[in-house]
Amino acid sequence: MADNESEQRWAVERARPQSGPVAGRARQGMFGVRGTGDTSGYGGLRLPAYVPPAAERPYGGWFDEVADALLAALGERGLPADTVQQVTVDRGEITFYVRTDQLLEVCRALRDDPALRFELCSSVSGVDYGPEVPQRLHSVCHLTSMTYRRRIRVEVAVDVEDPHVPSVVEVYPTADFQERETWDMFGIVYDGHPALTRILMPDDWDGHPQRKDYPLGGIPVEYKGAEIPPPDQRRAYS
3-state secondary structure 78-102: CCCCCCEEEEEEECCEEEEEECHHH
Which alpha helices (H) appear in 25-81, and where do they start and end? 63-76
User: Which residues partner with 165 through β-bridges?
Assistant: 190
Neighbours of 127 (CB within 10 A): 18
pLDDT at res. 19: 52
Nearest to 175 by CA among 96, 121, 95, 127: 121
Nearest to 67 by CA among 138, 147, 152, 126: 152
User: Which residues partner with 220 through β-bridges?
Assistant: 227
pLDDT at res. 224: 64
pLDDT beneath 50: ranges in the chain: 1-3, 5-18
Own/partner pairs for 121-125, CB < 8 Å, 24+ apart?
121/168, 121/171, 121/172, 121/174, 121/175, 121/178, 122/151, 122/174, 123/178, 124/168, 124/175, 124/178, 124/179, 124/182, 125/178, 125/182
Neighbours of 182 (CB within 10 A): 27
Nearest to 19 by CA among 97, 91, 102, 80: 97
* List of domains in the chain: 52-233 (3.30.460.80)
Q: Distance between CA atoms of 25 and 166, rounded to whole angstroms?
A: 25
pLDDT at res. 134: 86
Q: How far apart are the first and last CA of the chain?
A: 28
